[in-house]
Chains A and B, each alone.
Chain A
Amino acid sequence: MKNCEYQQIDPRALPTPTPTPPPHLGHDSDKTEEPKRRPRRKWQVFPGNNRFYCDGRIIMARQSGVLPLTLGLILITSVLFFIFDCPFLVKHLTSCIPVIGGGLFVFVVITLLQTSLTDPGILPRATPDEAADIEKQINNPGNTGYRPPPRTKEIIINQQMVKLKYCFTCKMFRPPRTSHCSLCDNCVERFDHHCPWVGNCVGKRNYRFFYAFIVSLSFLTAFIFGCVTTHLALRAQGGKGLVFALQESPGSAVELVICFFAVWSILGLSGFHTYLVASNLTTNEDIKGSWSGKSEEHVTNPYSHKNIFINCCSVLCGPMPPSLIDRRGLLPADESVQTAGVDIVLPTLATKNVCTQGTKGLLESATIPPLLSTSCPQGKPPSAHTCPDSGPAVNSDPSPELPTSCGARHTASSHGDNSPPRHAKTRSKKSKRAALHIPNPSFEVPVSPTSPDAGPSSKRRGHEGASFASLH
C-alpha cells in the first residue's frame, strides 16, 4: 500500500491527461521505458506542503504568505530613500550614507531570501518499516476505525523530564524541540514558528538567517528613519516649515510613515529574539511556557548552556546542520520502474486496503499525491488527507490567525493560542498591516510560477512539483 507513494503516474510520460485506467493499457510500454530514462528526484514525491524550484535546490512553503509584501515594502522604502534622501544628505552631510544604506539593504534582502528559500530543518517522514517497528513497540492492540489515543514517551534530558509526542502524520516520535507545522505539514527540528512575513517555517537550519534578517532590518529601518528625519529637519530649517520640506521631497513622507510603524515592531521583535537566543529558547517553547517553572517543581531549560555567550554562539555560530530531506537525490530505479508495471492492478489493491485497514489505510493514503488519487478510483479528495492527522486541517481558513502574532502560528492543533503580552506589540502592528492588504495568507500570489489550478483545494506538493518539472 505504501508503494502508492512512488507509484504516481509520471506526468511527463503522459502527453495528455488520461483520467481513466483503460487507456493506460496502450501506454504501458511507454511508461516502463520513460522512468528508466528519466529517474525522478525525491523532491517530486515529497509529501509535505512545500514548493520546489530549480530542480529541488530551492524550497518554500506552499503558502508564500506575505513574503511579496515584505520584499515590496523593503524595496520601495529603500528605493525612495536612494532617490529622495541620499542626494540631499550626500551634499549636506557625508557620502557614507548611501554606502551604509546600500550595504544594509543588500544584507537584509540576502538574509530574507535565505530565510525563505532554505529548508528550515524538515524531518523526513518515517519509512514504512520504521513506522511498523514503532507501532510494535507501542504495542497498540489495533485500530478499529477510530483515532488511537495520543502516544507519548517520557525521557530525561539533563535531569529534566521531557515528553516526546508521536506524530501521526510523520509516523514517528518527534525528537525534542521538534514540532509539526500544520501549514507546511512537516515536522521541523527546533521549530520556532511559521513566519508569514517570510513565507516559511523558522527552524534549526534557518534560525540564524532569520535572526540576521530581523536585526539588520531593524538597523536599516532605524537608519532610514534617522536619515529621513535629518533630511526633513535640514530642509525645514530657516523657518520654511515641515510642510514645505515634505512638498520638496514627497517620497520622504512615504518612508517616514512606513519606517515609523515598522521600527517599533521590528525592534521589539529583534529584542525578543535576542532574549530567546541568549536563553536558548524557541518562540514555541516560550509561548507554551515549557521551561518557565510554572509548576511546583524546579523547571529549567535543559538545552541551555547556562551561559549567555555560549548560548548565543551555539545558536548563531554553531555548525550548520545538513538538510535531511535530500531533495535532489534520485529515486531508486527499481521503485520508479515498479510504478508503471503495477499501474493497472493499483486501483483494486488500493481500494481493498482502504476498506480493510480503516484508519490506518486513511492515514497511509494521506501521503498519496493528488495525481494518484485522481487516476486511482479510491475516490479520496485531497482535502480529506489532512484532517485526521494534524488536528485543525492544514487548509482550514488560516485567515483568523493572521492578526495574531508570528509566534502563535505554530501547531494550533495541540495547544491553545495563549500568546504572552510580549507579542501584543507585533500583533497590533501586524493587524495594522493586515488592514492594508487581503488578510488571507492562502491567497495565491500572482508571482507563483505553478500551474493555475493550484488553488486552496489541491494543496499537495507532488502535483505542483511535478507540473513545474514538466515546464522545465
Chain B
Amino acid sequence: MAETHSLQDMRQQAAVAAKVFIQRDYTNGTVCHFQTKFPSELESRIDKQQFEETVRTLNNLYAEAEKLGSQSYIEGCLACLTAYIIFLCMETHYEKVLKKIAKYIQEQNDKIYTPRGLLLTDPIERGLRVIEVTVFEERSLTR
C-alpha cells in the first residue's frame, strides 16, 4: 500500500522530535480507558477537538471489547462447557474488536496524523498501557 510505504519512509527518514504518552485513566476501575486530556506538546500540531475525538473513539471501542453483555456471557459459558478449548480454535470477541481498533488507528494515521508529522502507535503494542504519539521534526513535512 502506498500509504503505509510513505509512513515507513517517514519513520526512517524523519527524526523523532519527541514522544508523547497518553496514560490510562483508572477512575472507572480496571477497564481500558485513556485520559482525554489534551497534551500541551501537541498544541502546535493538531486540533484539540480532533485529538480528543480520536481518543474518545478508542475508549468507546475498548469499552465495547470489554463489555459485560449477553454475548460475552454466552461465549464464556460455552467456553467453560468445552473446557475452554474453543479459545484455541475461535477468535474471541475481544480479538475481533482489537482488529477493528488497529484498522481505525491506521486510518486515523493516514488521514489526520501523518500529514501533521505525527504517528499514533496502537496501544496493544505497548501492553495497553499508553497511547504513544510520536512527534516528528518539522522538516519531514516538506515532501
Contact = CB atoms under 8 A, between A and B. Distances in A.
Interface of A: 106-107, 110-111, 114, 123-124, 126-127, 129-130, 133, 155-158, 162, 164, 172, 175-177, 189-190, 208-209, 212, 302-303, 310, 313-314, 316-322, 324-326
B24 interface: yes
B76 A158 contact: no
B26 A155 contact: yes
Contacts of B80: 208, 212, 316-317
B contact patch SS: mixed
A314 B80 CA distance: 13
B68 interface: yes
Contact of B72 (A111, A129, A317): A317
Given A155-B26, A317-B73, 15 more contacts: A107-B83, A124-B126, A129-B19, A129-B21, A130-B132, A133-B19, A157-B28, A157-B29, A175-B129, A208-B80, A212-B83, A319-B68, A319-B94, A325-B127, A326-B124
Nearest to A115: B84
Interface in B36-72: 65-68, 72
Interface string B17-36: 00101001011111000000
A127 B127 CA distance: 10
B114 interface: no
Contacts of A162: 26
A130 B129 contact: yes
B68 A310 contact: yes
B72 A158 contact: no
Q: Which 9 A-B pairs have the closest CB atoms?
A: A317-B76, A124-B127, A110-B83, A324-B127, A319-B72, A319-B94, A129-B19, A317-B73, A320-B92
A257 B136 CA distance: 69
Interface residues of B, number: 36
Contact of A158 (B29, B75, B87): B29
B65 A319 contact: yes
Contacts of B75: 317, 319-320
Contact of A175 (B24, B77, B94, B125): B24
Nearest to B83: A110
Contact of A155 (B27, B87, B92): B27
28 contacts: A110-B84, A111-B84, A123-B129, A129-B132, A130-B126, A130-B129, A130-B130, A130-B132, A156-B27, A158-B27, A158-B29, A189-B30, A208-B84, A212-B84, A316-B76, A316-B80, A318-B76, A319-B68, A319-B93, A320-B75, A320-B87, A320-B92, A321-B66, A322-B94, A322-B95, A322-B124, A325-B127, A326-B125
Contacts of B95: 322
A124 B130 CA distance: 12
B27 A157 contact: yes
Contacts of A313: 68, 73, 76
Contacts of A326: 124-125
B130 A176 contact: no
B84 A157 contact: no
Nearest to A325: B127
A124 B27 CA distance: 22
B79 interface: yes
A380 to B, nearest CB: 27
A114 B68 CA distance: 23
Contacts of B98: 322
B46 to A, nearest CB: 19
Nearest to B19: A129
A157 B26 contact: yes
Given A106-B83, A175-B24, A212-B83, A318 B72 contact: yes
A466 to B, nearest CB: 23
Contact of B129 (A126, A158, A176, A302): A126
Given A318-B76, A324-B124, A302 B83 contact: no
Contacts of A176: 26, 29-30
Nearest to A132: B19
Contacts of B67: 319
